[in-house]
């Protein structure tokens, strides 16, 4: 019979963003001009700041290539402690654990907080839902997440959450993601405060607050964490992937109550040992030098310029979509239901958002991610951390392809 993987592991779905990346890469190898709004990555359009690259290189030259403590290099823990103060949060270095990427930090939180043999072993997330929050609970407990739909503005329904928590005593972990992937929505402070009041009535429930886009908020908004209102029940996730275009450098962190952090550090030590030390040293240096957030705000401003270009182009050319203006991150998530159900010039029925996305790839070389991959059918996700040329030409090609569809 051969080797048999775990039944739970076999239920995990492939990463939708990596799936579309493979499609785009295959088309590039064929020599096609691709307008790629698929994967959420800034590099090479917005590369890693030179300050960070130089600091990582210097750490290698200084032979900082040994193991660090499992929770992280003390120099970096101190730098993250100071950096969190910039966002109104107070965590001591002993309340922080560094992990090989924000996604790994999420995994280790779930591994720590989801016990399959405990009555409280369910994860709650709001749709649209990021892929990890759909797959990790299945991998670790054999049970899918409890998914609650958001409203037309992609904000949680407070009454729905309160009713669930009052009626269901199996909930262990609630995921909040603001600024949000895939919608670009930013939760207002008043909503976070109300969420904290609802969740705070259930002291055994943990909040996983995914804040990897915390420095990418627009229109004069400031990032606010639910940890400001519910520190004793919140595990905050951050990292360098989206703040400084460091997706491949793989460094994230968790901040939370010290007793839980000690357990997560043990998990880290037994699974990853530690994060590579040159990156830790480089990021510590970067955070100290960027204490005014100037470099990270330069990244934000460059992304804001691209958001404006995309909004302008989309509103001019794509008349059948319904959309919310994103307030953060670098994603745009329009409702494309009007185009689902139409036919291609060849007569093929596009009855789903996946069919629509495939049509756009094949007919216009435009790569997007279907909303159904995030449990919000009828939408498409555009990652706009791309060149202005890609935005202008890509939306033009997309609009031309949509205009060819027949009702």
Q: What is the secondary structure of 307-376 as a DSSP string?
A: HHHHHHHHHHH-TT-B-PPP-BTTEE--B-TTTTTEE-TT--EE-SHHHHHHHHHHHH-EE-EEGGGGT-
Contact 109, 235 (CB under 8 A): yes
Say whether pLDDT at 1 is over 80.
no
pLDDT > 70 fraction of the chain, expressed in percent and rounded:
100
Residue 115 gets the label, from left (phi > 0), alpha (psi -120 to 50) or beta, of beta
**What is the β-pairing status of strands 342-343 and 122-127?**
unpaired
Say whether pLDDT at 31 is over 80.
yes
Contact 177, 210 (CB under 8 A): yes
Q: Which domains are delineated in the chain?
A: 8-47+295-403 (3.90.1150.10), 50-290 (3.40.640.10)
Q: Using omega within 30 degrees of 0 as the cis cutoff, is the peptide bond preceding 44 cis? A: yes
DSSP state letters, 74-133: HHHHHHHHHHHHTTT----GGGEEEESSHHHHHHHHHHHH--TTSS--EEEEEES--HHH
Report the pLDDT value the prediction gives residue 22, as an integer from 0 to 100. 83
Average pLDDT over residues 279-295: 98
- Assign 14 a pLDDT band (cuts: 50, 70, 90): confident
In the structure encoding, which two tokens stand for residue 211, read together? 């804040």
DSSP state letters, 135-193: HHHHHHHS---EEEE--TTS---HHHHHHHHHH-TTEEEEEEESS-TTT-----HHHHH
The closest alpha carbon to 325, from 150, 154, 131, belongs to 154
Distance CA 219, CA 355 (A): 34
Q: 228-239, pLDDT tens digit by residue?
A: 999 999 999 999
Q: Which of 8-12, 15-19, 157-161, 285-289 shows the lowest mean pLDDT across its residues?
A: 15-19
- Residues contacting 88, CB < 8 A, separation 6+: 224, 225, 228
Say whether pLDDT at 17 is over 80.
no
| Burial (CB count <10 Å: 0-12, 13-18, 19+), residue 372 | middle
Average pLDDT over residues 143-168: 97
Q: Looking at residue 30, what DSSP letter applies?
A: T
Average pLDDT over residues 72-79: 98
Q: Provide the b/e sequence for 211-245 (b: ≥16 CB within 10 Å).
A: bbbbbbbbeeeebbbbbbbbbebbbbbbbbbbbbb
Work out the angle between the directed axes of helices 353-364 and 388-403 (0-180°, nearest 10): 110
Say whether pLDDT at 40 is over 90.
no
């Amino acid at each position: 019979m051969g080797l048999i993987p775990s039944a739970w592991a076999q239920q995990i779905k492939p990463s939708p963003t990596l799936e579309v990346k493979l499609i785009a890469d295959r088309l590039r190898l064929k020599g096609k001009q691709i307008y790629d709004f698929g994967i959420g990555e800034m590099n090479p359009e917005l590369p890693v700041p030179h300050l960070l690259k130089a600091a990582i290189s210097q750490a290698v030259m200084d032979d900082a290539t040994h193991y660090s403590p499992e929770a992280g290099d003390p120099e970096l823990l101190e730098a993250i402690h100071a950096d969190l103060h910039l966002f109104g949060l107070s965590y001591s270095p002993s309340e922080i654990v560094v992990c090989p990427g924000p996604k790994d930090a999420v995994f280790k939180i779930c591994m720590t907080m989801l016990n399959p043999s405990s009555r409280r072993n369910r994860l709650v997330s709001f749709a649209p839902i990021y892929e990890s929050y759909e797959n990790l609970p299945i991998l670790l407990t054999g049970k899918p997440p409890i998914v609650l739909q958001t409203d037309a503005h992609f904000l949680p329904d407070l009454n729905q959450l309160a009713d669930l928590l009052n009626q269901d005593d199996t909930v262990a972990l609630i995921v909040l993601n603001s600024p949000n992937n895939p919608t670009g929505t930013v939760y207002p402070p008043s909503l976070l405060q109300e969420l904290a009041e609802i969740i705070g009535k259930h002291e055994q429930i943990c909040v996983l607050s995914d804040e990897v886009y915390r420095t990418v908020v627009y229109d004069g908004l400031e990032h606010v964490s639910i940890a400001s209102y519910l520190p004793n029940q919140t595990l905050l996730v951050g990292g360098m992937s989206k703040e400084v275009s460091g997706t491949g450098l793989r460094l994230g962190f968790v901040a939370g109550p010290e007793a839980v952090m000690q357990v997560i550090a043990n998990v880290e030590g037994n699974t990853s040992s530690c994060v590579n030390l040159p990156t830790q040293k480089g990021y510590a240096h970067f955070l100290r030098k960027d204490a005014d957030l100037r470099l990270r705000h330069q990244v934000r401003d460059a992304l804001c310029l691209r958001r404006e270009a995309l909004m302008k182009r989309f509103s001019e050319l794509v008349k059948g979509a319904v959309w919310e203006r994103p307030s953060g991150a670098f994603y745009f998530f329009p409702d494309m239901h009007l185009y689902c159900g139409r036919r291609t010039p060849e007569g093929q029925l596009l009855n789903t958002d996946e069919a629509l996305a495939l049509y756009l790839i094949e007919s216009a070389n435009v790569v997007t991610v279907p909303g159904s991959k995030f449990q919000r059918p009828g939408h498409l996700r555009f990652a706009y951390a791309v060149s202005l040329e890609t935005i202008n030409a890509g939306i033009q090609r997309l609009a031309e392809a949509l205009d060819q569809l027949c009702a």
